[in-house]
Amino acid sequence: MAGLAATETTIPHVPVLTGVTRARFEQEIVPAGRPVMLRGLVASWPIVAAASRSDEALAGYLVARPATQPVNTWFIEPALRGRFGYAQDMRGFNHERRVVPIADLLDYLIEHRGDAAAFTAYAGGIPITSTLPGLRDDLPMPLLDQARDMLVSLWLGGQAHTAAHWDVPQNLACVVAGRRRFTLFPTDQVQNLYIGPLDHTLAGQPTSLVDVAAPDFDRFPRFRDALATAELAELSPGDALYLPSLWWHHVESLDPVGAMINFWWRDGPDWMITPLFTLFHALLTLRDLPENERAAWRTFFDHYIFQRNGDPMAHLPPDARGVFGDLTADVRQRLKAFLIGPLQP
């Protein structure tokens, strides 16, 4: 086994930009489809100012905006160094999950700062609009149209490691307290990241089994190839990271009290659901076909879905394209009924 620290100096950092306008973000950064660090993007937020004074000031700022409900919180024993993941048998997980009021979580984090014998606590993906509605107006995001459909969430905890995973939406990850290190991999590194089960996950998304901070190359030899493609982003409070959809990211919270706020959104029609369902559907329809038949179906997908040859229905009048025409509400309902039928027991 060899740690990652010796190789970190050889991993390039993502580009760092300042003063990015919404026009540049929408017209240049998002279309490029690559991670970018935005230095100081949210440095003017009141929550960043509170955290810069002290952990207690951060706690006071959040408690003054009462939560509507307690939050799901994970606790992991000190020997596991904050690395949340699976149990040895892969059936369960290596941590305990409790529902905790945010004020109690903040008290725990502050009380156990620097305590090597304390459990690491972590609450992720707290929806701000429904759980901390008094916080939302203090989080202006100049790079996004505030009228668009998006999810804004809070991550709060100690020195936790989030296993490398991907998210369907695009993401602006804004650090407001403590430092965070992201290790990023392109989507095609799925073959080298040793992903756990897709239908039994820690928090909804498939995750890598590799401890990116201290990889075991004997167990996961192809991870060396993934490292050859990796990029680092080290964020301080006030910094943000743009993460395109489906980029793998491993996240380390480097300080005893850390907080991050994420803006998540998807481009495309708002009725679209995750393509992961298509992948699961393919287990029933494609995976176990003979190789030559799978190759033939790949041709159809390339033609009709990925449109490698242009619009596959361009030779037909619009009203003769069936479900490959405009996906109106009626057509979507008909398509869902068509798909559900064969899936019934």
List the chain domain ranges. Answer: 5-265, 276-343
pLDDT at 181: 97
List strand residue ranges (DSSP E) for 247-345, in order.
248-253, 258-265
pLDDT at 4: 55
Whether the CB-CB separation of 178 and 257 falls below 8 Å is answered with yes
Quote the pLDDT of residue 343.
86
Q: What is the DSSP string of 196-257?
A: --TTS-SSSS-BBSS-TTS--TTT-TTHHHHHTT-EEEEE-TT-EEEE-TT-EEEEEE-SSS
| Sites in the chain below the pLDDT cut of 50 | 1-3, 5-7
3 state SS of 166 = coil
Starting at the edge strand found earlier in the chain, the sheet holding 16-17 runs: 16-17, 36-38, 240-243, 170-177, 258-265, 151-157, 120-127, 71-76, 96-100
172-223 residue pLDDT tens: 999 999 999 999 999 999 999 999 999 999 988 899 999 999 999 999 999 9
5-265: CATH topology: Jelly Rolls (2.60.120)
